[in-house]
């Protein structure tokens, strides 16, 4: 069975919902994961923010506007009086729940917030499922809150998920289409929770792994992962095939099309992931699997907002234990390091989370002289570049010959070379790479 995920824009209006159903009806049984309608989760976040601040009027205003949108969708989506009524009832229920939380006497905690955020996916899936049922298609909802669960480390509880999704599928074995909610889950304590913003891709990947799917398809509104950032470079094109490692690097370093953690369950279970375009369903998109073209530079991505920190130490020179002490400081402040380079006299690292920068710098000063460069960008070049196949690294470095480079990192895997450069040079660097490598 295949798992297909459609994001917020793909279900962003009644018409889009109708278009999506055309893409999923081919007689094959499948699981369809849906996001909330585009804009909805943002509105729900806004509602929660107002409720945390006890601004009930502010919350109600957003609730009212959002409800109008859903009422209009129901009107347009269904043709029969019966389903129009079912749709109206559904919307009413979800919005009265929201209104019941927008109440002076209620305390608003993380738990209520998670409940608010869950409403988007609960509505989009019910709306689409009812639309299919109205059209006489055997469609069933698979309630994510009954099988999608995280453990005490907030990681997917795969054995629970496997067991409980299997129960659902067995109970509804006759269905042609299973519709389920992306993003939402229950946590270790059984409370409503979610897999973080953009988490529907992750849902699809987890389900794919849990049922050992034939393929996971992520449908968005662009035709696959592009070989460079279309916002800064002209004539980028989709990459046909990527290795899991390459896709993970690209997702982490900036290619917005895929949620970075999403690849992992699919990769672990070795389920191919195909990125496809709802606006152009026949385009071949990008296939991510263990197979990819060998010895080929596939794509370039950039990650903004990076800070570089250099620790120079005379005393600690080459001393063992030095690195550990440095890393412990970052660990202590729960700050992940992206890049690292070393020399005899010191070490440079890059981070993107600067929440504890001042404390980190303070602690690092115990070990040596510390310098900081802000407003940097990581340029990540991805492809199979095994070190025995000479020439790839030279080609990449050569393409950047006119750019000042603060750090270079290669050898962590065979799949990427990363450069740290100034933000102001980003566009020039991305274009130079496309020019020298892809054209
Ligand atoms: N609706 C959620 C969000 O906007 C999850 C998703 O779309 O993937 O973040
Ligand atoms: Mg998304």
Domain at 190, CATH number: 3.40.1160.10
Per-residue b or e along 377-386, where b marks 16 or more CB atoms closer than 10 Å to that residue's CB: bbbbbbbbbe
Quote the domain boundaries for residue 156.
2-220
Polymer length of the chain: 439
In a domain, 285, yes or no: no
164: left (phi over 0), alpha (psi -120 to 50) or beta: alpha
In a domain, 275, yes or no: no
**Residue 360's domain is classified under what CATH number?**
3.30.2130.10
* Same structural domain, 351 and 208: no
- Return d(Cα 410, Cα 417) in angstroms, integer: 5
Residue 8 CB less than 6 A away from ligand 1: yes
What is the 8-class DSSP label of residue 79? -
* Same structural domain, 19 and 143: yes
- Return d(Cα 14, Cα 20) in angstroms, integer: 10
CA of 28 to the centre of ligand 2 (A): 25
* Same structural domain, 308 and 216: no
The last residue of one of the domains, among 195, 220, 245, is 220
The last residue of one of the domains, among 220, 253, 280, is 220
The number of the ligand nearest the C-alpha atom of 144 reads 1
pLDDT by residue, tens only, the chain of 439 residues: 999 999 999 999 999 999 999 999 999 999 999 999 999 999 999 999 999 999 999 999 999 999 999 999 999 999 999 999 999 999 999 999 999 999 878 889 999 999 999 999 999 999 999 999 999 999 999 999 999 999 999 999 999 999 999 999 999 999 999 999 999 999 999 999 999 999 999 999 999 999 999 999 999 988 899 999 999 999 899 999 999 999 988 988 877 778 778 889 999 999 999 999 998 999 999 999 998 888 899 999 999 999 999 999 866 555 788 888 899 999 999 999 999 999 888 899 999 999 999 999 999 998 889 999 999 999 999 999 888 888 889 999 999 999 999 999 998 888 999 999 999 999 999 999 999 999 8
Q: What is the pLDDT of residue 206?
A: 98
In a domain, 276, yes or no: no
Side-chain-facing half-sphere of 311: CA atoms under 13 Å:
25
* Same structural domain, 35 and 165: yes
The last residue of one of the domains, among 183, 205, 220, is 220
Residue 156 CB less than 6 A away from ligand 1: no
DSSP string over 29-58: -EEEEE-PPTTHHHHHHHHHHHHHTT-HHH
* Same structural domain, 213 and 310: no
Residue 383 CB less than 6 A away from ligand 1: no
In a domain, 139, yes or no: yes
Using alpha carbons, select from 28, 1, 265 the residue that is nearest to residue 148. 265
In a domain, 26, yes or no: yes
Residue of minimum CA distance from atom 6 in ligand 1: 198
* Same structural domain, 333 and 426: yes
Q: What is the pLDDT of residue 322?
A: 85
Q: What is the pLDDT of residue 315?
A: 64
In a domain, 106, yes or no: yes
* Same structural domain, 204 and 319: no
- Return d(Cα 158, Cα 269) in angstroms, integer: 11
Residue 198 CB less than 6 A away from ligand 1: yes
CA of 408 to the centre of ligand 1 (A): 34
**Predicted structure pTM score:** 0.88
* Domain count of the fold of the chain: 2
CA of 275 to the centre of ligand 2 (A): 12
In a domain, 251, yes or no: no
* Same structural domain, 59 and 195: yes
- Return d(Cα 80, Cα 177) in angstroms, integer: 21
- Return d(Cα 261, Cα 195) in angstroms, integer: 10
φ and ψ at residue 303, rounded to 5 degrees: -120, 120
368: left (phi over 0), alpha (psi -120 to 50) or beta: left
* Same structural domain, 322 and 200: no
Residue 415 CB less than 6 A away from ligand 1: no
In a domain, 314, yes or no: yes
Q: What is the pLDDT of residue 413?
A: 87
Q: Does an H or E element contain 305, and which?
A: strand 297-312
CA of 253 to the centre of ligand 2 (A): 16
């Amino acid at each position: 069975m295949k798992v297909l995920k459609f994001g917020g824009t793909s279900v962003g209006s009644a018409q889009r919902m109708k278009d999506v159903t055309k893409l999923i009806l081919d007689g094959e049984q499948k699981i369809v994961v849906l996001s909330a309608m585009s804009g909805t989760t943002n509105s729900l976040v806004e509602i929660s923010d107002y409720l945390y601040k006890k601004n009930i009027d502010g919350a109600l205003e957003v609730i009212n506007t959002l409800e109008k949108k859903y009422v209009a969708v129901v009107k347009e989506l269904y043709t029969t009086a019966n389903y129009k009524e079912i749709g109206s009832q559904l919307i009413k229920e979800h919005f009265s729940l929201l209104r019941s939380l927008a109440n002076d006497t209620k305390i608003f905690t993380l738990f209520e917030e998670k409940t608010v955020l869950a409403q988007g996916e609960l509505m989009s899936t019910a709306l689409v499922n009812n639309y299919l049922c109205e059209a006489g298609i055997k469609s069933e909802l698979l309630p994510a809150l009954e099988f999608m669960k995280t453990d005490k480390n907030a990681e997917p509880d795969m054995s629970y998920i496997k067991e409980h999704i299997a129960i659902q599928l067995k109970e509804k074995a006759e269905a042609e289409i299973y519709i389920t909610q992306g993003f939402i889950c229950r946590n270790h304590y059984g409370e409503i929770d979610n897999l973080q913003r953009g988490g529907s891709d992750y849902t699809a990947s987890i389900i794919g792994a849990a049922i050992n799917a034939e393929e996971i398809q992520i449908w968005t509104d662009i035709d696959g992962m592009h070989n460079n950032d279309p916002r800064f470079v002209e004539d980028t094109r989709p990459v046909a095939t990527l290795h899991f490692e390459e896709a993970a690097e690209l997702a982490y370093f900036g290619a917005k099309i895929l949620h970075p953690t999403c690849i992992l369950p699919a990769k672990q279970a070795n389920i191919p992931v195909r990125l496809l375009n709802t606006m152009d369903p026949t385009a071949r998109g990008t296939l991510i699997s263990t197979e990819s073209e060998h010895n080929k530079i596939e794509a370039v991505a950039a990650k903004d907002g990076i800070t570089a920190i250099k620790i120079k130490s005379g005393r600690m020179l080459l001393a063992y234990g030095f690195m550990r002490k440095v890393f412990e400081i970052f660990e202590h402040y729960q700050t992940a390091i992206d890049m690292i380079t070393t020399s005899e006299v010191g070490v440079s690292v890059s981070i993107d989370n600067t929440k504890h920068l001042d404390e980190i710098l303070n602690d690092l000063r115990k070990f040596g002289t510390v310098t900081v460069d802000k407003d940097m960008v990581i340029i990540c070049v991805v492809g199979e570049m095994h070190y025995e196949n000479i020439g790839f690294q030279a080609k990449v470095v050569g393409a950047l010959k006119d750019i000042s480079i603060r750090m270079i990192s290669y050898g962590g895997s065979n799949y990427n070379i990363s450069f740290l450069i100034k933000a102001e040079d980003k566009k020039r660097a991305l274009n130079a790479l496309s020019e020298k490598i892809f054209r």
